[in-house]
A and B are shown apart, each in its own frame.
Chain A
Amino acid sequence: DGGITQSPKYLFRKEGQNVTLSCEQNLNHDAMYWYRQDPGQGLRLIYYSQIVNDFQKGDIAEGYSVSREKKESFPLTVTSAQKNPTAFYLCASTWGQGAADTQYFGPGTRLTVL
């Protein structure tokens, strides 16, 4: 079955640690996205990548970093510079290089800072 996988489902981080969230897709989609979701709010874009080896900052990129070395993979690192990282993180992908295509989402990762 084609789809998007995210791991882990739950992640706990200590203060000052960097952590990496995994996102893999086997849909052969060109574009991939990382969103952050906080209670009572819509999704906010962290980073997106339209092609391999290229990515762009979204509205809330500070304290996060990404890489896109393979078409299938778009890992997100939450660095210690992110002051309030506790949130639900969603990864998405689209067929084309524009978000007008339907975005398909992974199941999400819940990150909690201890």
Chain B
Amino acid sequence: AQTVTQSQPEMSVQEAETVTLSCTYDTSESDYYLFWYKQPPSRQMILVIRQEAYKQQNATENRFSVNFQKAAKSFSLKISDSQLGDAAMYFCAYWDSNYQLIWGAGTKLIIKP
């Protein structure tokens, strides 16, 4: 069964600096999708970025980018120029071919002003 592991329960970063959140997954499939979602204190789940496994190019959305290492089954999220509004829980998720998203336990990101 596919699993998603986020090994950092909590991370902190100084405002305006860069932080990287880790995610590893386990799968035997070759074609799949990976996601990073953000859940701020309001608890509204918001998509941050999405990566398709067949694309070698790392996805980027403004200050958010991923480092996708397919062979290593690693999918880390880099946040550049951190802002106070980035403070949230960040969840990594893997799309299962049974039409399910498999979720990691989350990383709490704290932004220090």
Report the bound CA distance from A92 to B93 in whole Å.
14
**Residues in chain A near residue B35, CB distance under 8 A:** 102
User: Could you say which of A40, A42, A48 contacts B103, with CB atoms under 8 Å apart?
Assistant: A42
**Residues in chain B near residue A58, CB distance under 8 A:** 100
User: Could you say which of B9, B42, B99 contacts A48, with CB atoms under 8 Å apart?
Assistant: B99
A35 CB to nearest B CB, Å: 8
Q: A80-114 toward B: CB 8 Å interface, digit per residue (1/0)?
A: 00000000101010000111101111011000000
B105 CB to nearest A CB, Å: 5
Is the pair B101, A40 in contact by a Cβ cutoff of 8 Å? no
Is the pair A45, B101 in contact by a Cβ cutoff of 8 Å? yes
* In the complex, B86 has a CB within 8 A of chain A: no
B82 CB to nearest A CB, Å: 23
Is the pair B91, A99 in contact by a Cβ cutoff of 8 Å? no
Q: How many residues of B contact A (CB 8 A)?
A: 22
Report the bound CA distance from A105 to B40 in whole Å.
13
* In the complex, B64 has a CB within 8 A of chain A: no
User: Could you say which of A42, A97, A107 contacts B106, with CB atoms under 8 Å apart?
Assistant: A42
Report the bound CA distance from A33 to B50 in whole Å.
19
Given A43-B91, A107-B44, A97 and B105 contact (CB-CB distance below 8 Å):
no
**Residues in chain B near residue A90, CB distance under 8 A:** 45
* In the complex, A25 has a CB within 8 A of chain B: no
- Smallest Cβ-Cβ distance to B106: which chain A residue: A42
Q: Within residues 9 to 57 of chain A, which ones have a CB less than 8 A from any CB in chain B? A: 31, 40-45, 48, 50, 56
User: Could you say which of A31, A100, A104, A108 contacts B33, with CB atoms under 8 Å apart?
Assistant: A100
Is the pair B99, A98 in contact by a Cβ cutoff of 8 Å? yes
- Smallest Cβ-Cβ distance to B108: which chain A residue: A40
Report the bound CA distance from A59 to B43 in whole Å.
22
**Residues in chain B near residue A108, CB distance under 8 A:** 43-44
- Other than the given A42-B91, A45-B100, 9 more pairs (CB < 8 A) read A41-B106, A42-B103, A43-B45, A43-B91, A45-B101, A56-B99, A98-B99, A100-B95, A105-B46
